[in-house]
Amino acid sequence: MVILALIPLVFLLSCASAPVSNNNDNAWPEWLRDHPRAPSNVNYNFIVRDGAGRTKEEAMKIALEKAHGEAASIIGKPLDKTYGIRYGIRCYHHVEKNVYNHTVYILFKHQMRSMASGARDDYNDPDGIKCKSAPVSSTDGSTENDAAIGKKQEHLLHTIASLRATAEKIELPGSPKQKNEIMNEGKRLYGEINELQGELRLLGAVIGLDSTMEVVRVIYDKMRGSCIEYGKNAKLHWSLEQNSEYSNLAFSKLSGSLGVQKSVCKDNGISLIYRGGKSECKRQYGVFACSYVSNLSISSCEGNEHLLLKGESVEGVKSKEDDALENLKEKIISANFWKKWEQELNRWRLKCD
């Protein structure tokens, strides 16, 4: 295994270097020997560049910029914007005194020896960049594994604190939609915490993890229980304030999939108040055109409007007025706005699981 501290900044080839021979195994670094072999008629260049930063991503970005810059100086244009260039990238990283050090290796085709021969260039690296850790001990005795554990433990504690704060919000007064938003955030945080504890187990940091996860489960179960208790009286109620053939038509469109009930709104429920006037019919050019606009108010049981859903103007046209009205109802049933209404109303249905 090549020791990172001894890797030269430019290995094997630069602008004036000779190409790497694919027939001589000694010319290939150990980590590259399981790579697909380059065709014999292709010259390859091999570049190494280092980068250091406060994070692994920052160190890798610096190292990649240096390596790509060196490659561009050899071929005269950016590596990733050069037609026909095949290249593979590998990288390693280690940490010293909380500073990440990244080493990037690039192997790429420089030129063809015999283009006229029609020889194929089968070398390719379809997986793109591949990186792996080199847990080299740092001068303060820590390793990259220690640094990774520390970062994940810090992230875990921060996420648990966020879950605790979110769980407290579920106890506050609010609408079913607000409770849904709080529960969705709680579910996301709970899932993230479970992922973090799984990653910490893989890193061998298991001390105290079980007791920590038990605390997390208690927080989440209490939050979910509060949501379920709130939901016992958080139904969608269809107000009987306006009872017409158009409101009945709207109720039939929405009640099936959303569980809307014709009942008096109470407690934590939501009152759906249909607001539509009368249809208007006009005779013009020998036909009747009848139009209608549907609106629906989403309100609290106390009558405070949360949102007004506005439908589009729908028109039915026939030679007779009665037929135009029937055509209007058919057009209303198939109108596009119902899907939007259903999507919005679904956000007001409490979902604790």
DSSP three-state, residue 314 = strand
Question: Which segments of 102-241 does DSSP mark as H helices, in order?
Answer: 144-169, 176-202, 209-231
CB 43 within 8 A of CB 111: yes
Select, from the ranges 20-24, 93-97, 280-284, the one with the highest average predicted confidence (pLDDT).
Answer: 280-284
pLDDT beyond 70 at 322: yes
Question: Regarding beta strands 261-262 and 287-300, do their DSSP bridges make them parallel or antiparallel, or are they unpaired?
Answer: unpaired
pLDDT beyond 70 at 95: no
pLDDT at 96: 56
pLDDT band for position 276 (cuts 50, 70, 90)? confident
pLDDT beyond 50 at 112: no
Per-residue tokens: 116:
């006229």
Provide the whole-model pTM.
0.57
Least-confidence region, from 68-77, 161-170, 199-208, 333-342:
68-77
pLDDT beyond 80 at 343: yes
Average pLDDT over residues 259-276: 92
Average pLDDT over residues 167-176: 94
Pairwise CA distance, residues 12 & 28, whole Å:
9
Average pLDDT over residues 118-131: 43
